[in-house]
Structure formats: structure tokens, C-alpha cells
Amino acid sequence: MTEMSRNSTQEGGQPGRIGIGLELDATHLKILEVLRENGRISVAALAERVGISRANAYTRFEALRADGAIKRFTAEIDHVRAGLGITALIFVTVRQQMWRQFRTQLAQMPEVEYCAITTGQHDAMIQVRVTDVAAVHAMVTDRLANIPAVKATETVFILDEVLRRPYVLPSDRGPGRSSRRPPADPPAGPARSTGAARSAGSAGPTGSAGSAGGEVPLGMMRFVGVAEGRAQLQQDV
């Protein structure tokens, strides 16, 4: 019950129902806004805060839940208080066509809180929470290294979590501000060579940046070079 939807077959929900099952209107979004900050609010209070009747609130609440728009309700805890003061990110390069094994192994690692498949230099990023720094080392060397699917890892520690929102919503942008950029105001800066893949082996976000004070000439999206054998990997994902 911890794995996420893959948009394909498999997994929790009814396999028959693919595609959007429920068009979310402004009221639905309002409900999600309230639930985001108070997941334990009663449906009666929710109805009042959203400005609809109780019956309507029950109907919509149930619909959101049944449709899968709301996946579950949970708590947010202070990891330090819970005894897991160390958080690390481990970027993993996965051997091609061993994704299934990698996923299976991951599910059996209780210290893993999050894992995402990414584009770029690495194939996956996993976030772990453990008691101490040594546990990170043990995790990487003993457990990850023993998975044949894992080709290489790169570890980084999290020093501080500046911001964490339970989730973001389209309505957060406000009624006035569109999510798409207004037609005017084309992006400044040199050469829109957006897709310029970095040659594998060269590194870092340094490089071409002009060191002119306030300007940020390399704010451009910089896709990291595709790792070796990544073309095949993509098919597997």
C-alpha cells in the first residue's frame, strides 16, 4: 500500500478505469485546500469552510476519495523527535532492464521514504531517514550495493528542509495569475539552446555562466547528459 500508481496496469485501483474519472471544479479544489492543512477536519466543518451544504460536502468528499484524487490521509511528523534525525538523498544509477528488481528491493527498505525515477545524470533519487550518519553509510554500502540492479550511487545529506507543503494545487496560483507565462516578456539571456545535452563525463552546474553580477545567464534549463545505456532504460520505465 506504499507504492504509487504507475499509470499503467498493476497496483491498487481498478485496472479497468483508466483516464480521468472526475473533473475537479473549483469546489473540489477548495475542499482539497482545506484538507491539505487539516486532514482531520469533520465533513460538517469542511462544508462550512467551503461554503456548501453538509450533504454536498459528504458527496464530494466521498467522490474525491472513491475517484482516487485523494489517495489517503496521513500525519506529518517531526522526524527528529521520532528519532530519525539524519536525512540523505541517494542518487542511483540503475543497470538497464533491472528496474523490476530495483523496485522490489526498494519496497523492502524501511528507511526509504521516497523514490523517484528521474531524467538526467542518474536514474533514480531515493530519500532515506535514519538515526545517524553511520546508518547512511551502512545503507549505501551494505544494502544498496548488494542489489545487482544498482550500478552506482551518489549520496548527499540534507542539512535543512526549508519548505514542505503537503501538496500543491493549481488554485494556489490564484485566480489572477495564470500558470502559463504571459505571451509578452520573452525569456532574456543568450541562445535558447534548451535541449543542449551535456556530454557525459563533464560535470557540474558551473561552466558557461557569465560571471556578471546580478544577471543569471544560465538560468536556462540544463538537462543533464544521458547516462550510458540510458536509451534502453527509458523503454523500461
- Residue 10's binding partner out of DNA, its own copies, none, with CB under 5 to 8 Å set by partner kind: none
Alpha-carbon span 89 to 156, nearest angstrom? 5
Q: Binding partner of residue 196 among DNA, its own copies, none, CB under 5 to 8 Å per kind?
A: none
Task: Quote the least distance from Cβ 105 to its own copies, whole Å.
Answer: 11
23 versus 142: smaller Cβ distance to DNA: 23
Residue 53, amino acid: S
- The answer to whether the beta carbons of residues 21 and 67 sit under 8 Å apart is yes
What's the closest the beta carbon of residue 36 comes to DNA, in angstroms?
A: 17
With binding defined as CB under 8 A, does residue 150 bind its own copies?
Answer: yes
Q: 52 vs 218, which CB is nearer to DNA?
A: 52
Q: How far is the CB of 55 from its own copies (least distance, A)?
A: 19
User: What is the DSSP secondary structure assignment for residue 51, as one 8-state letter?
Assistant: T
Name the residue nearer to DNA (CB basis): 43 or 226. Answer: 43
Residue 161 contact among DNA, its own copies, none, beta carbon within 5 to 8 Å by kind:
its own copies
Whether 150 contacts 92, CB under 8 Å: yes
- C-alpha closest to that of 97 among 229, 200, 9: 229
Q: Which does 194 bind (CB under 5 to 8 A by kind): its own copies, DNA, none?
A: its own copies
d(CA 112, CA 103): 12
CB of 22 to its own copies, least distance (A): 7
Instruction: List the single partner that 56 binds among its own copies, DNA, none, CB under 5 to 8 Å by kind.
Output: DNA
Collapsing DSSP states into helix, strand and coil, what is residue 202? strand
Residues 82-111 that bind its own copies (CB under 8 A): 82-84, 87, 89, 91, 93, 103, 106-107, 110-111
DSSP per residue, 177-199:
S-SSPPSSSPPPSS---TT-PPP
Spatial neighbors of 200 by CB under 8 A, at least 6 apart, are 225, 226, 227, 228
3-state secondary structure of 137: helix
Q: Considering the complex, what minimum distance in angstroms separates the CB of residue 160 from its own copies?
A: 4
Question: Which residues form the interface with DNA (CB under 7 A)?
Answer: 27, 42-45, 52-56, 58-60
Identity of the residue numbered 160: D
Asked if residue 221 lies in contact with residue 194, where contact means CB atoms within 8 angstroms, the answer is yes
Out of 4, 26, 66, 231, point to the residue binding its own copies (CB under 8 A).
4
55 contacts its own copies (rule: CB under 8 A): no
What is the distance of C-alpha 150 from the center of its chain? 21
State in angstroms the smallest separation of the CB of 60 from DNA: 6
